[in-house]
A and B are shown apart, each in its own frame.
Chain A
Amino acid sequence: MTAAALTSMTAADAERSADRQAVYVLAQTEARRHLKGVALWFGLLGMAFTGLSGRGSDWQGAVYESFPLLFVPLAAATFLAGVRSGGRDRRSDLPCLAEGAPLDATARATGRLLGMAPFVVATTLAVVAVEAGIRIEGGHWIGESPGRTDSAVHTLPELVQPIAFVALAAVAGIAAGRAFRRHGPITVLGMIVGFMMWSVWWAFQFMPIAVFALVQTAPIREYAGPPGSDPDSFPADWLLARPDEYTHAWMRVYVDQWLSAGHVVYLLGLAALFTAAAVRGSRGRRWLLAGLAVVAIGIIVQLAATGFALTPGGTGPGQQP
């Protein structure tokens, strides 16, 4: 290799490094703005409110399954902050800031994506804090007698799910902000989706919708026997839910780690697809392909975990005949 070629390579490396460093500095700048802004703190406040309002629920599994719902307000706030950050250069009434600057739209989008880190970090800390509290209190109630436990704690994939969900909200916000000139409608749409995930979350918790839902709760329910069944007739290691006004049958309740893990992979795949929409260009195409593959893997893992229960009236686990 000639000295000239080596010099040229070094210069090119230096340029790439300068570009990368500027992207990191932009990410830091954005992160600092998020920490000083209201969205993160409102999100955490909403999380605390959801947690306190859900503590009084008195049926088996109620508090356990409300865990991922705690993070929906934080995810909604994250989305809104993402729209704001991702759309800085794309407002209906303003042209792009510093158009002739070295950091182009892709580099700016990358910096702004990384700048959403405070939301993901805050979610991780909140997950750790909430789960630590749960474990200190001794765990949650799942199942009716005779198979009942009061010491259920969340599995690792369940703990990762809110973090993946908030990361998805962050990336979706950046992508939406960059894609739409008018932020009003996209903000309203984000709020509606957030509200649905928070207030009518149960409407999405049946197979196969739960596979595709943004929030997937556990434990899942599987038909065990008709209302008149003797609970002692079921295997002793089963956790059960008794028939009630909504479910007119004995149900087996259980946590499927593969289902939860598959859902995390699915959410990360969606995040990769939104990353593709945010960064665009050749890098965006790579994210698109990776995202499609990861989404497919996540769906397949979940479906495999439920015995490929593709219809609510099917015969796989989690379904009623």
Chain B
Amino acid sequence: MTNYASLRAPSGALAVTVDAVRKRFGSTIAVDAVDLRASGGVIGLLGPNGAGKTTLLRMLATVLEPDEGSISLLGLDPRRADERLAIRRQLGYLPQEPGLYQGFSAFDLVDYVAVLKEHTDRGARRQEVRRALALFGITDVMHKKIRTLSGGTRKRVALAAAVLGNPTLLVLDEPAAGLDPEHRLQLRSVLSDAGSRGTVVVSTHHTAEAAALCQQVVVLIDGRVRFCGAPSELAALATGRVWIDDAHDGNSRPAGTVQSWITAEGHVRHIGDPPQGAELADPTIDDGYLLVTHAEVVTP
């Protein structure tokens, strides 16, 4: 089924090594002096829109070359054509917009991607396609044309295409976007399984998703890494900066707070400096992320 590359990751090599990588588009610096190390598990990239997540993931997916710095994937150098091919044989990539062919059925499309991934044995390939579609619960609509599927189902088709052949390195750009809660949980299960066998780098806007799934989170802002560590460490950055206040006066935000909102319980939750009379609350990853993005905490 899979054609194994002669070039393999040297044993003990880090799955992802990013050293001082910089990427520009005209005068815009999309990724600026980024360092990253990953050797298995699920790594989450967090950051606001335009932070450089997609550019970094495209470089990790070998479709974009850095202007400066170096990237090593599975111990191989993606700048060398033969090593890039070897990486691609062990890579699954979900771009932000997967470019699905609208006139294909879901099955035919994933089968087509399997061919592009060098799954040449027809019987084994079709079996693998069915397995990937079943992982995301698409078997019942697999003969429908892509153009007739909902946005969430299309995303699941693209995910099925990305996980074909159980890649050693999975690079996924906002895989949970557009998925309903049930399928988001399904995705978690697939990704945690993939992370236990290899390395998954995933970008997301959902901090809760990152907290639930990732062993390591990286917060990118303006192309730079502002935080890198475990989700609990990101949450811990907000220790002593989260407050609950029973009394609230409309939507006003007390001075010194980064964000305030009324919770489902009717309390006001403040992030930042303590408002008068507020009580200290347990921080979450959301709180830590918010403080990092507002440059309210100094990260190592």
Which residue of chain B has its CB nearest to the CB of A7? Answer: B6
Which residues of chain B are within 8 angstroms of A101 by Cβ–Cβ distance?
88, 93, 113, 116-118
- Judging by beta carbons under 8 Å apart, are B116 and A97 in contact? yes
B61 within 8 A of A: yes
Within 8 A of A (CB), among B4-35: 5-6
- Judging by beta carbons under 8 Å apart, are A100 and B89 in contact? no
Which residues of chain A are within 8 angstroms of B191 by Cβ–Cβ distance?
none
Which residues of chain B are within 8 angstroms of A108 by Cβ–Cβ distance?
116
Contacting residue for B120 out of A14, A21, A96, A99, CB 8 A: A21
Complex Cα gap A34–B112 (Å): 14
> How near does chain B come to A111, taking the closest CB pair, in angstroms?
8
- Judging by beta carbons under 8 Å apart, are B3 and A18 in contact? yes
Question: Would you give the 0/1 interface string for A80-93, flagging 1 where the beta carbon is closer than 8 Å to chain B?
Answer: 00000000110100
Contacting residue for B113 out of A19, A33, A98, CB 8 A: A98
Q: With A29-B112, A100-B63, A102-B89 given, is the CB distance from A18 to B118 under 8 Å? A: yes
Complex Cα gap A215–B5 (Å): 47
- Judging by beta carbons under 8 Å apart, are B171 and A11 in contact? no
Q: With A14-B6, A18-B3, A89-B99 given, is the CB distance from A100 to B171 under 8 Å? A: yes
> How near does chain B come to A291, taking the closest CB pair, in angstroms?
25
Which residue of chain A has its CB nearest to the CB of B98? Answer: A97
A95 within 8 A of B: yes
- Judging by beta carbons under 8 Å apart, are A98 and B6 in contact? no
Complex Cα gap A231–B118 (Å): 68
A22 within 8 A of B: yes
A193 within 8 A of B: no
Which residue of chain B has its CB nearest to the CB of A99? Answer: B63
Contacting residue for A100 out of B6, B61, B109, CB 8 A: B61
B100 within 8 A of A: yes
- Judging by beta carbons under 8 Å apart, are B101 and A99 in contact? no
> How near does chain A come to B147, taking the closest CB pair, in angstroms?
12
Which residues of chain A are within 8 angstroms of B115 by Cβ–Cβ distance?
22, 25-26, 29, 103
B42 within 8 A of A: no
> How near does chain B come to A38, taking the closest CB pair, in angstroms?
11
A94 within 8 A of B: yes
Instruction: Please report the total number of B residues contacting A with Cβ < 8 Å.
Output: 32
B97 within 8 A of A: yes
> How near does chain B come to A271, taking the closest CB pair, in angstroms?
25
B207 within 8 A of A: no
Which residues of chain B are within 8 angstroms of A33 by Cβ–Cβ distance?
108
Which residues of chain B are within 8 angstroms of A25 by Cβ–Cβ distance?
115, 120, 122
Complex Cα gap A246–B44 (Å): 77
Which residues of chain A are within 8 angstroms of B122 by Cβ–Cβ distance?
25
Which residues of chain B are within 8 angstroms of A150 by Cβ–Cβ distance?
none
Q: With A18-B3, A88-B101, A100-B62 given, is the CB distance from A95 to B95 under 8 Å? A: yes
Question: Would you give the 0/1 interface string for B172-216, flagging 1 where the beta carbon is closer than 8 Å to chain A?
Answer: 000000000000000000000000000000000000000000000
B230 within 8 A of A: no
Within 8 A of B (CB), among A41-66: none
- Judging by beta carbons under 8 Å apart, are A95 and B97 in contact? yes
Which residues of chain A are within 8 angstroms of B245 by Cβ–Cβ distance?
none
> How near does chain B come to A32, taking the closest CB pair, in angstroms?
10
Complex Cα gap A88–B88 (Å): 20
Which residues of chain A are within 8 angstroms of B5 by Cβ–Cβ distance?
15
B287 within 8 A of A: no
> How near does chain B come to A93, taking the closest CB pair, in angstroms?
9
Which residues of chain B are within 8 angstroms of A95 by Cβ–Cβ distance?
95, 97-99
Complex Cα gap A14–B85 (Å): 13
> How near does chain A come to B93, taking the closest CB pair, in angstroms?
3
Which residue of chain B has its CB nearest to the CB of A111? Answer: B115
- Judging by beta carbons under 8 Å apart, are A98 and B116 in contact? yes
Which residues of chain A are within 8 angstroms of B117 by Cβ–Cβ distance?
98, 101-103
User: Residue among A21, A29, A101 with the most chain B CB within 10 A?
Assistant: A101
A188 within 8 A of B: no
- Judging by beta carbons under 8 Å apart, are B116 and A26 in contact? yes
> How near does chain B come to A256, taking the closest CB pair, in angstroms?
45
Which residues of chain B are within 8 angstroms of A24 by Cβ–Cβ distance?
120
> How near does chain B come to A83, taking the closest CB pair, in angstroms?
14
- Judging by beta carbons under 8 Å apart, are B99 and A94 in contact? yes
> How near does chain B come to A20, taking the closest CB pair, in angstroms?
10
Which residues of chain B are within 8 angstroms of A12 by Cβ–Cβ distance?
6
Which residue of chain A has its CB nearest to the CB of B121? Answer: A25
Contacting residue for B118 out of A88, A97, A103, CB 8 A: A103
Which residues of chain B are within 8 angstroms of A15 by Cβ–Cβ distance?
3, 5-6, 82, 85
- Judging by beta carbons under 8 Å apart, are A103 and B6 in contact? no
Which residue of chain A has its CB nearest to the CB of B117? Answer: A101
Complex Cα gap A61–B130 (Å): 58
> How near does chain A come to B282, taking the closest CB pair, in angstroms?
40
Complex Cα gap A290–B99 (Å): 35
Which residues of chain A are within 8 angstroms of B109 by Cβ–Cβ distance?
97
- Judging by beta carbons under 8 Å apart, are B116 and A102 in contact? yes
Top 4 A-B residue pairs of the complex, sorted by shortest distance between their CB atoms: A11-B6, A100-B93, A18-B3, A101-B116
Can you list 16 pairs linking A and B with CB atoms under 8 Å apart?
Answer: A11-B6, A14-B6, A15-B3, A18-B3, A18-B118, A21-B3, A21-B118, A22-B3, A25-B115, A25-B120, A29-B112, A89-B99, A97-B99, A97-B116, A102-B89, A103-B115
Further pairs besides A99-B95, A100-B91: 17, Cβ < 8 Å: A8-B6, A18-B120, A21-B120, A22-B115, A22-B118, A25-B120, A25-B122, A89-B99, A91-B99, A94-B97, A94-B100, A97-B99, A99-B61, A100-B61, A101-B93, A101-B118, A108-B116
